[in-house]
């Protein structure tokens, strides 16, 4: 049943049906559950077996723990995460099969395909499946993984050599057939009939490698689509090849003519050339997105005991990183100091912290929930992996473009037009039927319709990334373009962290107490905690036990046996004293005794006045603050009378405020530091986490913006809005191309070879239009950069 292969002596059975393997049984049951068993009535061998025998020791090297460790992204007792580059991925059928691997192997719990990058990410149970077995499974299905330990270090995956060979064969045969056909091109047809017949049969022989080998990518793609009851873009191309070859074979065999072997080989050559160029271009865009754009998140690196700040791409194996409470672990490393309590919910979805001791391996993507720790990097930052994790936390209910259903029926429309053209010319000029039908089948291209959005958004993501504005994915561009209400968190967003001169009010602190306070503050990534630790500059670090951080309130822990609390007056258990207009305070409690408070002014960020002046003309502005209203008058003067100011806001209160705005019909952008406002960022239509020199990335955000780029926010929004217009213009251009191409083809004025040149050219034209338009817009907005 299903594939038509001979069953073993003891087949797998479901009722009276026999299957050769568990894979066929799984596919049958999947179709049966969804009422799709009529599929078997439409195909004589519906599930042609694609399994390829795998040499027993081909992937034996993956059993080596050292090799496997260099490939996996995450591993625990219950699940292992790995990514493979699969050169054979090229159509929607591939995506369908690869995203249902869990139906074929019970040890696999999840598989996701990045179609553009041709990568599959798999989560499997290491107790039931090994990395070697996974590689063998993929290979047996026809998707052999390209494995290199340098894959994730910034190396571009190679173009398929098979495709290059096929292009070379098609080009060689095309050129030779044209050479052999020169006498006929020049009208020199008075040669001996026998010689003319020999040349025609020679053309037939030279065309066979093209038909049987070079055109295989189109056959395979079309066949996979048919197996899933879907006519993809390659189906009309295969039909055109079959029609042209069949017509040519008939003419040569019967002596009625020389056939169209030059057109046939030219069609395959130019189609393959277009596919290679398109793949190389798209791969370059994907590479540029993954490795030259980056999270504008800084990491604390210890060099000879001194802390310095590096961007994530600058981290190298052997660096020692300091990870504060609440910070993301950016690279795989060995814990060398501190007690780690890692929340891997960003990776696995499980929020229960995992305790780790010195010497154990910590994986990228985990978040430290305890005090500060130190780790030794053993593998450099895999930014594409972090991007993938970030997207896994994306929002549900994404809109599906109307273009995709259109593309699904595009092939049926083209086949109908071809049939109509054939019927028309049958009654008017039968000699034009073959060229007309072939040209119609080839020239129509839905790729241009589909790629207009992909290419535009891809370039916008690249431009924004180079301006240190990193978006989760292309969907965020549309949401940013649609906002009409912008909400700012105050502390750390409108105000610059660190402030000016710090003062102490209260009883005198001993050097030991100052050192303990600095040590406790250094555990947190909060702007005020970091400013306090920087000002006190503790020398020898103290031991910290029982560290806890309460968002919006403060931190506490035992430092050298002394119980310390740092935070708001309410948190330490006292009543706040009157404060200055721009003051920020951190109260200190030592062993339940309130010793006093640190206070410093918090100036607003440079350029904030111009930023607000630009935004308030087109957007409603709000400010949320956890402080009291001492700065109300100053903020009102800065933001204007129309701005909505709200104070004494808890993290939950911020979420409720965003929810109320959305209930009123507003489309809200929330900008915060990602620490006390993660819930509000997640609730908003577009949540932007502002970052200074610290690693406060939160998966709840849709974008990360480096703080010194906040004055460019109006330009960023305008660029996102321009993307909608560019996509619309390129879509219209694509529609016009298809209408014009089909019109000329139906009229018989377009030769199949010219159609084969036009089809891939349309996709490349869309690429140039979208890339050029978005880059030009960025230059006008002064956002275009050739490097970071």
Q: Which two tokens stand for residue 37?
A: 């068993």
Residue 191 has pLDDT above 80, yes or no: no
Q: Which residues pair with 559 in a beta bridge?
A: 544, 562
**Does residue 470 contact residue 294 with C-beta atoms inside 8 Å?**
yes
**Does residue 681 contact residue 500 with C-beta atoms inside 8 Å?**
no
Residue 721 has pLDDT above 90, yes or no: yes
State how far the Cα of 207 lies from the Cα of 199, in Å rounded to an integer.
Answer: 12
The domain made up of 468-496+605-720 has a fold known as Rossmann fold (3.40.50)
Residue 76 pLDDT: 81
Predicted confidence (pLDDT) per residue in 257-310, tens digit? 777 788 788 878 877 876 776 666 556 555 444 434 445 556 788 888 777 877
Q: Which residues pair with 306 in a beta bridge?
A: 303
Residue 563 has pLDDT above 90, yes or no: yes
Predicted confidence (pLDDT) per residue in 264-275, tens digit? 888 788 778 767
**Does residue 610 contact residue 711 with C-beta atoms inside 8 Å?**
yes
600 contact partners, CB below 8 Å, separation of at least 6? 498, 499, 500, 501, 502, 503, 531, 535, 583, 584
Q: Which long-range contacts (CB under 8 A, 24 or more apart) does 203-207 make?
A: 203/177, 203/252, 203/258, 203/259, 203/261, 203/262, 204/248, 204/249, 204/252, 204/259, 204/261, 206/173, 206/176, 206/177, 206/180, 206/261, 206/265, 207/173, 207/177, 207/245, 207/248, 207/261, 207/264, 207/265
Q: Which two tokens stand for residue 269?
A: 């050559």
Beta strands per DSSP E along 684-767: 686-691, 703-706
| Mean pLDDT of all residues in 134-161 | 66
| Mean pLDDT of all residues in 342-354 | 74
The domain made up of 298-392 has a fold known as 2.70.150
Q: Taking each helix axis as running N to C, give the angle between helix 403-428 and helix 713-746, from 0 to 180 degrees, rounded to the nearest 10.
A: 20
Residue 777 pLDDT: 92
Select 60-140's CATH number: 3.60.10.10, 3.50.50.60, 3.40.50.720, 3.30.70.100. Answer: 3.30.70.100
Q: Which one, of 594, 685, 776, lies nearest residue 398 by Cα?
A: 685
Q: What residue segments make up the domains of the chain, in order of their start?
A: 1-49, 60-140, 298-392, 468-496+605-720, 502-601
Residue 385 pLDDT: 65
Residue count of the chain:
788
Predicted confidence (pLDDT) per residue in 692-701, tens digit? 655 556 667 8
Predicted confidence (pLDDT) per residue in 213-258, tens digit? 999 888 887 786 676 666 666 777 788 788 888 888 988 888 877 7
Residue 344 has pLDDT above 70, yes or no: yes
Residue 776 pLDDT: 92
**Does residue 486 contact residue 622 with C-beta atoms inside 8 Å?**
yes
Tell me the CATH architecture of domain 502-601: 3-Layer(aba) Sandwich (3.40)
| Mean pLDDT of all residues in 516-543 | 79
Q: Which one, of 685, 731, 714, lies nearest residue 472 by Cα?
A: 685
State how far the Cα of 92 lies from the Cα of 388, in Å rounded to an integer.
Answer: 20
**Does residue 501 contact residue 604 with C-beta atoms inside 8 Å?**
no
Residue 143 has pLDDT above 70, yes or no: yes
Residue 46 pLDDT: 46
Q: Which residues pair with 554 in a beta bridge?
A: 550, 567
Residue 298 pLDDT: 67
**Does residue 462 contact residue 293 with C-beta atoms inside 8 Å?**
yes
**Does residue 447 contact residue 455 with C-beta atoms inside 8 Å?**
no
Q: Which two tokens stand for residue 669?
A: 């952008």
Q: Which residues of 579-609 are buried (b: 16+ CB within 10 A; e: fewer)?
A: beebbbbbbbbbeeebbbbbbbebebbeebe
State how far the Cα of 312 lies from the Cα of 382, in Å rounded to an integer.
Answer: 9
Residue 12 pLDDT: 65
**Does residue 118 contact residue 125 with C-beta atoms inside 8 Å?**
no
Residue 589 pLDDT: 93
Residue 39 has pLDDT above 50, yes or no: no
Q: Which two tokens stand for residue 23?
A: 């894979």
Q: Which residues pair with 691 in a beta bridge?
A: 706
Predicted confidence (pLDDT) per residue in 385-407, tens digit? 666 666 665 554 445 454 555 55
492 contact partners, CB below 8 Å, separation of at least 6? 526, 527, 672, 673, 675, 690, 692
Q: Phi and psi at residue 524, in whole multiples of 5°?
A: -105, 155
Indicate the pLDDT class of residue 40, thresholds 50, 70 and 90.
very low
Predicted confidence (pLDDT) per residue in 88-129, tens digit? 775 545 666 688 788 778 889 888 887 666 788 899 998 888
**Does residue 387 contact residue 365 with C-beta atoms inside 8 Å?**
no
Taking the CB of residue 348, how many other CB atoms lie within 10 A of it? 19
Residue 486 pLDDT: 94
Taking the CB of residue 40, how many other CB atoms lie within 10 A of it? 16
Predicted confidence (pLDDT) per residue in 457-513, tens digit? 878 888 888 888 888 878 889 899 999 999 998 877 787 765 556 788 888 888 888
**Does residue 173 contact residue 265 with C-beta atoms inside 8 Å?**
yes
State how far the Cα of 440 lies from the Cα of 410, in Å rounded to an integer.
Answer: 12
Residue 397 pLDDT: 44
Share of the chain above pLDDT 70, in %: 74
Share of the chain above pLDDT 90, in %: 11
454 contact partners, CB below 8 Å, separation of at least 6? 116, 474
CA distances from residue 503 to 272, 275, 582, 725 in whole angstroms, order as listed: 71, 66, 13, 53
Q: Taking each helix axis as running N to C, give the angle between helix 261-291 and helix 433-443, from 0 to 180 degrees, rounded to the nearest 10.
A: 0
Residue 450 has pLDDT above 70, yes or no: no
| Mean pLDDT of all residues in 328-337 | 85
Residue 665 pLDDT: 93
Residue 189, burial from CB neighbour count under 10 angstroms (0-12, 13-18, 19+): exposed
Task: Find how far residue 188's CA is from the centre of its chain.
Answer: 58
More confident: 631 or 35: 631
Mean pLDDT value across the chain: 77
State how far the Cα of 401 lies from the Cα of 453, in Å rounded to an integer.
Answer: 10
Task: Find how far residue 143's CA is from the centre of its chain.
Answer: 21
State how far the Cα of 64 lies from the Cα of 149, in Å rounded to an integer.
Answer: 13
220 contact partners, CB below 8 Å, separation of at least 6? none
Residue 681 pLDDT: 87
Indicate the pLDDT class of residue 77, thresholds 50, 70 and 90.
confident
Residue 370 pLDDT: 77
DSSP H/E element including 219: helix 216-227
Q: Which one, of 296, 520, 311, lies nearest residue 319 by Cα?
A: 311
Alpha helices in 326-402 (DSSP H): 345-348, 383-392
**Does residue 95 contact residue 111 with C-beta atoms inside 8 Å?**
no
More confident: 579 or 515: 515
Residue 85 pLDDT: 81
More confident: 478 or 28: 478
State how far the Cα of 402 lies from the Cα of 395, in Å rounded to an integer.
Answer: 19
Indicate the pLDDT class of residue 49, thresholds 50, 70 and 90.
very low
Predicted confidence (pLDDT) per residue in 632-682, tens digit? 777 787 777 888 888 888 888 899 999 999 999 999 999 987 666 778 888
**Does residue 439 contact residue 271 with C-beta atoms inside 8 Å?**
no
Cα angle 669-670-671, degrees, rounded to a multiple of 5: 120
State how far the Cα of 318 lies from the Cα of 13, in Å rounded to an integer.
Answer: 55
Residue 582 has pLDDT above 60, yes or no: no
């Amino acid at each position: 049943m299903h594939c038509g292969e001979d069953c073993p002596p003891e087949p797998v059975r479901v009722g009276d049906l026999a299957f050769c393997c568990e894979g066929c049984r799984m596919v049958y049951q999947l179709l049966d559950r969804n009422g799709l068993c009529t599929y078997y009535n439409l195909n004589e061998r519906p599930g042609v077996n694609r399994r390829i025998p795998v040499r027993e020791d081909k992937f034996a090297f993956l059993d080596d723990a050292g090799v496997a460790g260099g490939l996996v992204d995450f591993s625990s007792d219950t699940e292992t995460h790995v990514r493979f580059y699969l050169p054979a991925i090229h159509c929607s059928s591939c995506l369908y099969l690869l995203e249902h691997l869990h139906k074929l192997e019970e040890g696999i719990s999840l598989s996701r395909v990045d179609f553009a990058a041709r990568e599959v990410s798999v989560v499997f149970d290491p107790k039931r499946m090994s990395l070697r077995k996974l590689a063998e499974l993929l290979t047996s299905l026809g998707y052999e993984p390209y494995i290199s330990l340098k894959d994730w270090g910034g190396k571009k995956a190679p173009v398929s050599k098979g495709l290059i060979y096929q292009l070379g064969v098609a080009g060689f045969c095309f050129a030779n057939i044209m050479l052999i056909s020169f006498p006929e091109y020049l009208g020199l047809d008075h040669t001996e009939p026998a010689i003319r017949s020999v040349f025609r049969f020679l053309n037939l022989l030279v065309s066979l490698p093209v038909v049987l080998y070079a055109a295989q990518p189109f056959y395979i793609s079309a066949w996979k689509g048919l197996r899933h009851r879907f006519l993809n873009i390659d189906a009309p191309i295969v039909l055109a090849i079959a029609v042209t070859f069949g017509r040519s074979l008939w003419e040569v065999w019967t002596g009625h003519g020389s056939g169209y072997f030059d057109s046939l080989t030219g069609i395959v050559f130019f189609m393959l050339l277009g596919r290679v160029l398109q793949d190389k271009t798209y791969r370059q865009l994907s590479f540029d997105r993954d490795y030259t754009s980056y999270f504008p998140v800084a990491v604390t690196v210890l060099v000879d005991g001194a802390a310095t700040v590096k961007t994530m791409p600058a981290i190298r194996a052997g660096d020692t990183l300091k990870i504060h409470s609440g910070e993301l672990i950016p690279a795989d490393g060995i814990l060398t100091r501190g007690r780690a309590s890692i929340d891997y919910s960003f990776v696995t979805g499980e929020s229960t912290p995992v305790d780790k001791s010195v010497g154990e391996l910590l994986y990228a993507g985990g978040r430290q929930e305890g005090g500060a720790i130190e780790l030794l990097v053993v593998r450099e930052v895999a930014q594409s992996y972090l991007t993938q994790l970030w997207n896994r936390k994306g929002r549900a209910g994404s809109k599906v473009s109307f273009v995709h259903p259109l593309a699904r029926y595009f092939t049926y429309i083209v086949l109908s037009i071809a049939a109509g053209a054939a019927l028309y010319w049958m009654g008017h000029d039968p000699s034009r039927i073959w060229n007309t039908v072939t040209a119609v089948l080839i020239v129509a291209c839905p790729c241009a319709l589909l790629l207009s959005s992909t290419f535009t958004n891809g370039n916008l993501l690249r431009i924004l990334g180079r301006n240190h504005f990193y978006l989760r994915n292309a969907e965020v561009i549309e949401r940013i373009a649609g906002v009409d209400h912008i909400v700012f968190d105050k502390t750390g967003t409108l105000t610059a962290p660190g402030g000016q001169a710090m003062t102490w009010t209260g009883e005198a602190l001993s050097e030991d107490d100052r050192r303990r306070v600095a040590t406790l503050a250094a555990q947190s990534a909060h702007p005020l905690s970091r400013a306090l630790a920087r000002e006190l500059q503790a020398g020898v670090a103290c031991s910290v036990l029982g560290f806890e951080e309460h968002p919006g309130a403060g931190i506490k822990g035992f430092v050298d046996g002394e119980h310390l609390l740092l935070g708001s007056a309410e948190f330490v258990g006292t009543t706040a004293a009157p404060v200055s207009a721009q003051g920020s305070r951190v109260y200190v409690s030592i062993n339940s005794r309130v010793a006093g408070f640190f206070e410093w002014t918090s100036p607003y960020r440079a350029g904030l006045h111009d930023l607000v002046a630009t935004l308030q003309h087109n957007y409603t502005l709000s400010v949320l603050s956890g402080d009291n209203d001492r700065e109300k008058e100053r903020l009102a003067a800065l933001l204007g009378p129309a701005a909505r100011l709200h104070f004494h806001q808890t993290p939950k209160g911020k979420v409720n405020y965003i929810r109320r705005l959305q209930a009123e019909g507003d489309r809200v952008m929330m900008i915060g530091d990602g620490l006390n406002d993660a819930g509000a960022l997640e609730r908003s239509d577009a949540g932007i986490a502002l970052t200074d020199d610290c690693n406060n990335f939160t998966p709840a955000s849709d974008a990360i913006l480096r703080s010194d780029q906040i004055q460019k926010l109006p330009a960023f929004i305008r660029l996102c809005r321009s993307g909608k217009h560019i996509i619309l213009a390129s879509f219209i251009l694509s529609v016009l191309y298809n209408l014009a191409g089909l019109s000329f083809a139906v009229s018989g004025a377009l030769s199949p070879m010219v159609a084969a040149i036009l089809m891939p050219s349309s996709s490349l034209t869309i690429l140039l239009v979208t890339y050029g338009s978005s880059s030009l817009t960025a230059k006008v907005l002064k956002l275009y950069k050739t490097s970071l």
